[in-house]
Amino acid sequence: MLGGGGLVGANVYASATEDGGADSAETLSSPAGTIDCPDVGDKLTDVPEDAKEDVAKELALLDQQIADAYQRLTEAAQAIKQDPAFADNAIMKPLKEKRGATIERIAIAVDRTGDRPEGLDGLADCTLRAPEPDSGDQANGADGGDGAQDNGGDNQNGAEQGGEQQGDGGQNAGNGGQAGNGPNAADYQDIKSVQPNVQKPALSSDASRGTFATSCGVNDNGLFNSDNVIVAPGVSNGAHHFHDYIGNQSNDAFASDEDLANAETSCVNQGDKSTYYWPVIRLQNGSQEQDANSPGGGIEGNAGEIVTPKEVTLNFVGSPRSKVTEMPRLLRIITGDAKAFINGTANANASWSCTGFEDRQLKDKYPLCPQGSDVVRTFKFQSCWDGTNIDSANHRTHVAFAAADGSCANGFKAIPQLVQRIVYDVNAPSLQDGGKTTPLFAVDSFPEQLHKPVT
């Protein structure tokens, strides 16, 4: 059987409003492009314990620097059109200088009690990506359709196991306002045009065939914040986007293990103090939410009506190759990548689908679901553990995904795989008029990630 006590944090790693003018769906994800910076945190695989707090705060500062630069970029769209060198001189060069100083402080912090990390100096420079071309109303042939921090981790959609214990060129009229930083029509695909693509490994004779579920609600009590206690502990707005939280009710940037262990929980099993969280999705309908004028919300381009999930399932699944070992208490896991649009898809593990079509999964498109079908976002967490550590410097190397046949390599042990499945009752948007008739929906993101579905 799968089981065990403890506290787990699972995070799905997952950062204002302005109407446009035309009726067509010709939109730019950003009038001036977006900013592409190397991910410093992902390169830090060995950070001494004494340096972790300082490093986490400096990494959060790097994210804030990018967010600030992106905001200046969108505000300066007209100036950049008139003088292409403006972006480089006024935005990109100052960003490089700030990043360089911050990266140096990271290296010094690590060097005090460990080996100075190599290769960080080359990560200060960022690239200005050109705007995406007009998407028009062609989204793969679709026409809009018919109407856990401590034992589970901070999933860039997250889970922590608890156990016993703006600018010119923005979106079109009716979109409601990502202020020109996405999404666009090309980010959506009719689920019926996707071929079945889900494969399950065969079960061996030693397989762990058991599963168990924990029921923790759908966040209908509206517990949100833009913190990330796993990736940016001690830093307000460390995620730069809102999370839904279920399970542990005390998850914020400043929560200690003791705080989480003593907290209330939304789980039916009151002994389950794990925390599960993921970025919210919003309807781009112009609604003013509680964070409309706040960092992490409208100020950073996350605008519109937050959609409360219709259903949330949290399943822990056995290994197809071997028995599983119990998840350790206070295990932290993140799955997916909140910066996958910039970083690439290596860690882009979250997927999209529709009820009735879940044998077809999309990574880099939002699904257009037929009438009567709901949008589904699924987060599958790593199911192999190094057997020793509850976290790692980049929050990834202490756990790993199984091979295609379900086996764990390099001495890693199989643990129950957490599968978070979030169901949303949202209609397929009207792409032909840019969401004017039926609003677009999009996941919250870091501002420079342009609300891409791959994040």
User: Do residues 354 and 406 share a domain?
Assistant: yes
Q: pLDDT averaged over the chain?
A: 85
Least reliable range by pLDDT among 11-25, 394-408, 430-444: 11-25
Q: In sequence order, what are the residues at sequence separation of 6 or more whose Cβ sits closer than 8 angstroms to the Cβ of residue 448?
A: 34, 35, 36, 37, 66, 67, 70, 342
Specify whether 20 is located in the same domain as 57: no
- Residues 172 and 283 occupy one common structural domain: yes
How many of the other CB atoms lie within 10 Å of CB of 254?
Answer: 13
Among 104, 130, 156, the domain boundary falls at 130
Q: Is 350 in the same domain as 283?
A: yes
- Residues contacting residue 200 through CB under 8 Å, at least 6 positions apart: 320
pLDDT of residue 30: 56
Reduced to 3 states, what is the DSSP secondary structure of residue 245? strand
Residue in this structure with the two tokens 């910076």, named with its chain if needed: 37
Percent of the chain topping pLDDT 90: 69
CA-based nearest residue to 399, from 212, 210, 162, 161: 161
Provide the pLDDT for residue 24. 29
Q: Which helix (H) or strand (E) holds 60?
A: helix 52-75
Report pLDDT digits (tens) over 25-80: 333 345 678 999 999 998 898 899 999 999 999 999 999 999 999 999 988 988 98
Instruction: Based on the fold, state whether residues 193 and 330 are members of the same structural domain.
Output: yes
Please check whether residues 107 and 155 belong to one and the same domain.
no
Model pLDDT, residue 159: 55
- 211 within 8 A of 314, measured Cβ to Cβ: no
Per-residue pLDDT band at 244 (split at 50, 70, 90): very high
Instruction: Flag whether pLDDT at 135 surpasses 70.
Output: no
Which pTM was predicted? Answer: 0.85
Residues 227 and 120 in one domain: no
Positive/negative CA dihedral, 160, 61, 444, 131: negative
What per-residue confidence (pLDDT) applies to 345? 87
> Of the given ranges (178-182, 338-342, 365-369, 450-454), which has the lowest mean pLDDT?
178-182
pLDDT higher than threshold 50 for residue 142:
no
Domain that holds residue 20: 8-27+133-449
Residue 52 lies in a domain: yes
Phi/psi zone of residue 381: left (φ > 0), alpha (ψ -120 to 50 degrees), beta?
A: beta
**pLDDT for 252 beyond 80:** yes
For β-strands 305-306 and 375-380, DSSP reports them as unpaired
Going by pLDDT thresholds of 50, 70 and 90, the confidence category of residue 151 is very low
Flag whether 3 is in a domain.
no
Is residue 412, in this structure, part of any structural domain at all?
yes
Residue 202 within a domain: yes
Look at residue 7 in the predicted model and tell me its pLDDT.
61
Q: Is residue 455's pLDDT more than 70?
A: yes
- Are residues 272 and 334 part of one domain? yes
| Between 348 and 20, the higher pLDDT residue | 348
d(CA 11, CA 15): 15
Beta-carbon count within 10 A of 141 CB: 9
Hey, what amino acid is at 390? I
Q: Is 169 in the same domain as 64?
A: no
Does the pLDDT of residue 144 top 70, yes or no? no
